[in-house]
């Protein structure tokens, strides 16, 4: 299938549709959220073909969807969203979650102003770099035995809080209170345990980061005030996931699910979409293992937050509570979750695959904690290390995407191409001239994550805003970055 042969019908200024009549195997149409400018970049890779392929999944309902930050991924496009109905033979696909299970973002405010941080910025970045291990295979200060690690997989962020690595308020400000129910650590392989036991509190490599930012623009004064967010204040963003443990869970079950295709008579155009019925033994085993890895990721970000607070205390000689390092929210963007949604006016429990996509519940949604129910769920959209990031709020319009939104800027350039174009020392100098201090474990990471390899996050955010999926709350610019 060539991308150029796929018919894209423009519905409005931010929606394009692929009719299910395009291919007899499509069970639903495809829908892409983008404007004309972003669509030009989207059509450069084969992600649109993957939107078509996902529409083949048994039990899929609504649309095979992709957010404006979409690009090619394993099986699903990154930025892909799909809902399957277990009562209609619906399946679950590890390719619809991704290898970094519950890769997500945590956003933390402070009371500090830029002028208070700027004189100590280089020292602060260095301290954060030392306190939060980064890079491929990075190991943290904890090395848990399997018995303890099983508790992490079962309890998520609550395990960290119970061991004095956080406070109760952090749990309320985390999706699912930092723990997805239904995890079964016994469904996780020994190899996954081996990879994860020393990685709590670590960033990893690739596009993961720890960033010091300044709130430079407020779009919704009322909602921002409710969350104690004010222009000119320093904040911190943490982007990472389940590390080697989650990667191994995905690897293990991708192999298992390949045999499920013939066992359950499932025919797909791409074996990377290997899946199993949600109501099957294999489907339930993967769900419980994936939830375990997701809980590990929540705990990982909680441990990183603890070390961020200690770093600020060290630099400013003040307790983190006085510095106002309070968590605003933590969201998952590589996950599959069982949620209640309406299909043709009837409520059904569906499996929502969000692969490089963020949940975006609107105000009044019953699953939101009271703290957010009056304004809606925060949606955290990181940019690149040299561009703006955004905090959005879920809107009722996102019901058409099963309450899903974009998760970032989205790549437009491969890592290998970036290595041919950019040089680390030049990038570091350019960023420092703009007031951005970067410290990374690897020069290769700096090159592969150069601002130019990503779409403009502002363009992506504008599309989801115009589509009514989320509304803009505030914009942040980076001043200090820790990379793997």
User: Is residue 126's pLDDT more than 90?
Assistant: yes
Q: Kindly report the CATH number assigned to the domain that includes residue 405.
A: 3.90.1860.10
User: Is residue 484's pLDDT more than 90?
Assistant: no
Residues facing 84 on adjacent strands: 60, 351
Rounded Cα distance between 312 and 316, Å, is 6
- As a whole number, mean pLDDT of residues 90-106 equals 98
3-state secondary structure of 341: strand
User: Is residue 17's pLDDT more than 80?
Assistant: yes
User: Is residue 40's pLDDT more than 80?
Assistant: yes
43 Cβ contact list (under 8 Å, min separation 6): 3
Q: What's the per-residue H, E or C state across 147-186? A: HHHHHHHHHCHHHHHHCCCCCHHHHHCCHHHHCCCCCCHH
User: Is residue 411's pLDDT more than 90?
Assistant: no
Share of the chain above pLDDT 90, in %: 86
- As a whole number, mean pLDDT of residues 300-317 equals 97
- Backbone φ and ψ of 391, nearest 5°: -115, 125
Rounded Cα distance between 49 and 26, Å, is 12
Residue 455: pLDDT band with limits 50, 70, 90: confident
Residues facing 338 on adjacent strands: 351
- As a whole number, mean pLDDT of residues 177-199 equals 96
Rounded Cα distance between 219 and 381, Å, is 15
**Nearest CA among 66, 61, 62 for reference residue 78:** 66
- As a whole number, mean pLDDT of residues 289-316 equals 98
Residue 146: pLDDT band with limits 50, 70, 90: very high
Buried b (16+ CB within 10 A) or exposed e, 204-213: bbbbbbbbbb
- As a whole number, mean pLDDT of residues 359-378 equals 96
Q: What's the per-residue H, E or C state across 257-306? A: HHHHHHHCCCCCCCHHHCCEECCCHHHHHHHHHHHHHHHHHHHHHHHHHH
Position 397 scores a pLDDT of 93
Position 207 scores a pLDDT of 86
Radius of gyration of the chain from its Cα atoms, rounded to whole angstroms: 21
Residue 185: pLDDT band with limits 50, 70, 90: very high
Rounded Cα distance between 380 and 97, Å, is 18
CA dihedral 283, 29, 40, 205 (to 10 degrees): -10
Compare 244 and 453 and report the one with higher pLDDT: 244
Position 272 scores a pLDDT of 98
Residue 462: pLDDT band with limits 50, 70, 90: very high
Position 442 scores a pLDDT of 83
Rounded Cα distance between 338 and 290, Å, is 12
User: Are 330 and 372 spatial neighbours (Cβ–Cβ below 8 Å)?
Assistant: no
- As a whole number, mean pLDDT of residues 263-283 equals 97
3-state secondary structure of 320: helix
User: Is residue 61's pLDDT more than 90?
Assistant: yes
310 Cβ contact list (under 8 Å, min separation 6): 131, 320
Length of the chain in terms of residues written: 484
User: Is residue 415's pLDDT more than 80?
Assistant: yes
Position 412 scores a pLDDT of 82
Find the catalytic residue in 13, 365, 407, 425. Answer: 407
Distances (CA, A) of 90 to 83, 86, 139, 257, 352: 8, 4, 38, 14, 11
Residues facing 31 on adjacent strands: 17, 65
**Considering the chain, what is the average pLDDT of its residues?**
95
User: Is residue 136's pLDDT more than 80?
Assistant: no
* 407 included as an active-site residue: yes
Position 256 scores a pLDDT of 96
Position 464 scores a pLDDT of 97
pLDDT digits 0-9 by tens, 223-266: 999 999 999 999 999 999 999 999 999 999 999 999 999 999 99
User: How far from chain centre, in Å, is Cα 393?
Assistant: 15
User: Is residue 282's pLDDT more than 90?
Assistant: yes
Q: How many structural domains are present in the chain?
A: 1
- Of the listed ranges 192-201, 275-284, 307-316, 411-420, the one predicted with least confidence: 411-420
Distances (CA, A) of 85 to 82, 90, 180, 226, 338: 10, 5, 20, 37, 10
Residues facing 303 on adjacent strands: none
User: Is residue 101's pLDDT more than 80?
Assistant: yes
Element (H, E) at 327: strand 327-332
Q: What is the DSSP pairing of strand 78-84 with strand 60-71?
A: antiparallel
Rounded Cα distance between 442 and 483, Å, is 8
Domain that holds residue 327: 3-483
């Amino acid at each position: 299938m060539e991308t150029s042969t796929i018919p894209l019908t423009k519905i409005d200024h931010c929606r394009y549709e692929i009719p299910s009549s395009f291919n007899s195997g499509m069970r639903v149409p495809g829908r892409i959220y983008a404007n004309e400018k972003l669509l030009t970049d989207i059509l450069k890779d084969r992600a649109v073909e993957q939107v078509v392929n996902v529409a083949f999944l048994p039990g899929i309902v609504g649309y095979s969807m992709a957010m404006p930050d979409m690009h090619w991924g394993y099986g699903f496009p990154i930025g892909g969203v799909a809902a399957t109905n277990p009562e209609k033979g619906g399946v679950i696909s590890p390719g619809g979650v991704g290898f970094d299970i519950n890769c997500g973002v945590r956003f933390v405010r402070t009371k500090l102003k830029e002028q208070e941080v700027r004189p100590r910025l280089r020292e602060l970045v260095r301290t954060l770099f030392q306190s939060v291990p980064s890079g491929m295979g990075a190991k943290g200060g904890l090395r848990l035995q399997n018995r303890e690690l099983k508790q992490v997989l079962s309890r998520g962020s609550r395990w960290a809080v119970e061991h004095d690595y956080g406070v109760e308020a952090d749990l309320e400000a985390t999706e699912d209170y930092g723990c997805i129910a239904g995890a079964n650590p016994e469904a996780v392989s020994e190899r996954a345990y081996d990879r994860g036991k020393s990685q709590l509190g670590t960033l990893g490599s690739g596009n993961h980061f720890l960033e010091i930012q300044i709130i430079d623009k407020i779009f919704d004064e009322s909602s921002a005030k409710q969350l104690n967010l004010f222009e000119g204040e320093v904040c911190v963003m943490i982007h990472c996931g389940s590390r080697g443990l989650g990667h191994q869970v995905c690897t293990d079950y991708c192999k298992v699910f390949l045999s499920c295709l013939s066992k359950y008579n499932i025919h797909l155009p791409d074996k990377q979409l290997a899946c199993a019925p949600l109501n099957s033994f294999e489907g339930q085993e993967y769900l419980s293992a994936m939830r375990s890895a997701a809980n590990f990721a929540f705990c990982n970000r909680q441990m990183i937050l603890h070390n961020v607070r200690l770093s600020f205390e060290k630099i400013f000689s003040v307790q983190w509570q006085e510095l106002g390092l309070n968590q605003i929210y933590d969201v998952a963007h590589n996950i599959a979750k069982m949620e209640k949604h309406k299909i043709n006016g009837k409520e059904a429990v569906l499996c929502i695959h969000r692969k490089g996509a963020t949940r975006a519940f609107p105000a009044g949604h019953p699953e939101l904690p009271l703290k957010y129910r009056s304004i809606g769920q925060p949606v955290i959209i990181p940019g690149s290390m040299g561009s703006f990031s955004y905090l959005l709020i879920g809107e009722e319009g996102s019901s058409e995407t099963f309450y899903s939104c974009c998760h970032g800027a989205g790549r437009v350039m491969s890592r290998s191409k970036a290595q041919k174009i950019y040089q680390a020392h030049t990038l570091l100098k350019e960023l420092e001239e703009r007031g951005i201090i970067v410290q990374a474990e690897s020069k290769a990471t700096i090159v592969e994550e150069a601002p130019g390899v990503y779409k403009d996050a502002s363009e992506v955010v504008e599309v989801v805003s115009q589509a009514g999926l989320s509304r803009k709350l505030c914009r942040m610019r980076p001043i200090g970055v820790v990379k793997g």
